[in-house]
A and B are shown apart, each in its own frame.
Chain A
Amino acid sequence: DTAVSQTPKYLVTQMGNDKSIKCEQNLGHDTMYWYKQDSKKFLKIMFSYNNKELIINETVPNRFSPKSPDKAHLNLHINSLELGDSAVYFCASRGSHSGNTIYFGEGSWLTVV
């Protein structure tokens, strides 16, 4: 069973659209994250969500918003998509019983055309 799963794996959409990427973890972790990996492979933290406390990287546009219906899910909503949003988005989670190790999903490849 996949520990951190995210869907869709591939998403091609037009500029201006609104899209969502879903993430679920079955590890019982308390903290979930969204990371963005650009074409040069740089990984940038976007959000950290722990027990209803949201920490936002201040450089992330407010068109991006995380939504957590429960502790096992952290979905990423993106409004008014722009060409520069094209990237791979990784969901990840971390739990107190897993120490400081972060477990990543397989990534969602977003292409904005």
Chain B
Amino acid sequence: SQQGEEDPQALSIQEGENATMNCSYKTSINNLQWYRQNSGRGLVHLILIRSNEREKHSGRLRVTLDTSKKSSSLLITASRAADTASYFCATDSVTAGNMLTFGGGTRLMVKP
């Protein structure tokens, strides 16, 4: 199964609402990253949180990490229609060498 698993698989909200996506993983990590993928495009890095950090902010993004529960969440505040995309968490684990392992993604739709 995927190292990172996102929840929910799909999320539909109205513009202006907040969107929360969760990610769970199995092994010890060096860091956890969130990426965004617009339809038909490649993935774009959003934010990285290290294993010794608990929370990180970047603009309207807020990421938390709970290493005891092996989980992370991505919060997008005041969502916009342009935030419509798939969001993936990726783990940079101790045992995976130089490779990031991605989850299945959350497909977010923000309705105008």
Looking at chain A, what size class is its interface with the partner chain?
A: 20 to 34
CB distance from B67 to the nearest CB of A (A): 16
Which residue of chain B lies nearest to A44 when distances are taken between CB atoms in the complex?
A: B102
CB neighbors of A among B48-63 (8 A): 48
**Given A33, A40, A107, which contacts B41 in the complex, CB threshold below 8 Å?**
A107
Count, chain B residues at interface, CB 8 A? 26
Check A103/B45 contact, CB under 8 A, given A41-B105, A41-B107, A43-B88: yes
Q: What is the interface of chain A mostly: helix, strand, loop, or mixed? A: strand
- In contact, A100 and B33 (Cβ under 8 angstroms): yes
CB-defined contacts of A55 to chain B, threshold 8 Å: 97-99
Query: A46 — nearest CB in chain B belongs to which residue?
Result: B99
A48 vs B96: C-alpha distance when bound (angstroms):
11
Decide: A104 near B98, CB < 8 A? Known: A41-B105, A41-B107.
no
Given known pairs A100-B48, A101-B48, the reply for A50 and B98 (CB within 8 Å) is yes
B43 touching A104, Cβ below 8 Å: yes
A-B contact count (CB 8 A): 60
Give bound CA distance, A101 to B88, whole Å. Answer: 14
Instruction: Check if A33 sits within 8 Å of B107, measured CB to CB.
Output: no
Given A42-B105, A43-B43, A45-B101, 7 more pairs with CB closer than 8 A: A40-B104, A42-B2, A45-B100, A50-B98, A55-B98, A90-B42, A101-B33
Q: Please name 28 pairs of A and B residues whose Cβ atoms are closer than 8 Å in the assembled complex, sorted by A.
A: A4-B42, A35-B102, A40-B104, A41-B37, A41-B105, A42-B102, A42-B105, A43-B43, A43-B105, A44-B102, A45-B100, A45-B102, A50-B98, A55-B98, A55-B99, A90-B43, A100-B30, A100-B92, A101-B45, A102-B33, A102-B43, A102-B100, A104-B42, A104-B43, A104-B44, A106-B42, A107-B40, A107-B42
Seen from chain B, the residues whose Cβ lies within 8 Å of a Cβ on chain A are 2, 30-31, 33, 35, 37, 40-45, 48, 86, 88, 90, 92, 97-102, 104-105, 107
